[in-house]
Structure 1
Amino acid sequence: MPTSGLVINTLPSAAIDQAFKQALARYQGQAGNLLPILHAIQDALSCIPQQVVPDLAAALQLSRAEIHGVIQFYPHFREQPTAPVVLEICRAESCQAMGGTELAEHACRSLNCSFHETNANGSITLEPVYCLGLCAQSPAIMINGTPHARMTPARLDQLLQHTKVQA
């Protein structure tokens, strides 16, 4: 993932340690536990900090390269914390055919950032997502895990304004 754009303040070591220990305790001993552990860490911290990789590799008897490979392979995983608001825009074919490309361009212009980046004031992180399962109601977005369908640039602006007020 590109790392240009605003980097959100670093996470406290205690929070990283707690998220790692909780995820490991929950999934230790289960077959194929790497992905659930990575998801649990990211759910708790909004990213998977580099600091957890050596300890996770040791705990799961994997190499650091294997852990990094999985983190890099899946576009959902992030290595930097996100802003309080995460805007995900569907980039699948159906959404693109129904105006998703224009919607993404509008979002990039409005936020003055690209995908995988956070806007200058640190309030919104923009991410691509590949199919939200709302193809019949394209284009679709997700704001902090809540899907929104039949999106237009004007509706996106309204939702983001409302979300910023709520945050």
Structure 2
Amino acid sequence: MITSTPWTSDRAREIVAAHARCDGAALPVLHALQDEFGHIPDEAIPLVAEALNLSRAEIHGIVTFYHDFRRQPAGRHVLKLCRAEACQSMNGAAVAQGLLATLGIGWGETTPDGSLTVEGVFCLGLCACAPSALYDGEPIGRLDPGTLDEVVREARGL
């Protein structure tokens, strides 16, 4: 289950200060902010830019370029479905599209009840058991519609 702290600029400044002296500090700072708050709030962009002496556009570019960064809070659970070639060759794309259609959401979106966010990733390194996924960080292999139904039921507490 995903847990996060409500945004406060004071806590964000503490996090930025703790990581600002790292080599290539932008990524460690942004990861730490997301670990704390569950996403990168818009209010964090100018704060990080100022602390690292970078432009807001540079920080925005980093946040929007890397798929791991979220601009909105995730659901209570996160399912990362592999979209790489090995998983595609094992019907992963059709399985994923079926799930998204059933949930009525798109890639990177959260179910209306807030229980599950579905994200696409490119290669989890689980090619031997394709198609694969990570559910709250735990690997799942040989996905099929039944397995994903179980994940959805668990995410919803059913």
TM-score calculated relative to the size of structure 2: 0.90
8 Å CA contact 2:115–2:155 kept in 1: the answer is no
Structure 2 unaligned blocks of 5 or more = none
> For 1:38, which of 12, 30, 33 is the aligned residue?
30
Output the amino acid matched with 1:74: Y
Question: Which residue is 2:147 aligned to?
Answer: 155
Equivalent position SS for 1:31: coil
Unaligned runs of 5+ in 1: 1-10
Do structure 1's residue 73 and structure 2's residue 65 form an aligned pair?
A: yes
> Residue 144 of structure 1: which of 136, 142, 150 is its match?
136
- What CA distance in whole angstroms lies between the structure 1 residues aligned with 2:35 and 2:7? 16
**Partner letter of residue 84 of structure 1?**
R
> 1:18-58 CA distances to partner (integer Å, 9 max, x unpaired)?
1x234223312121011011111111112100101111111
Determine helix, strand or coil for the equivalent of 2:69.
Answer: coil
Aligned partners of 1:155, 1:12: CA distance in 2, in Å? 33
Count residues with an aligned counterpart: 154
Aligned: 1:165 with 2:150: no
Residue among 75, 85, 98 paired with 1:93: 85
CA distance in 2, matches of 1:43, 1:17: 16
In the alignment, which residue of structure 1 is the partner of 2:114?
A: 122
| 1:55-70 aligned within 5 A | 55-70=47-62
The answer to whether structure 1 residue 110 and structure 2 residue 73 are counterparts is no
Whether the aligned pair in 1 keeps the contact of 2:78 and 2:135 (CA below 8 Å) is yes
Letter in 1 for 2:98: H
Bigger relative CO (Cα 8 Å, ≥ 6 apart): 1
After TM superposition, where is structure 1 displaced by more than 4 Å over at least 4 residues in a row?
none
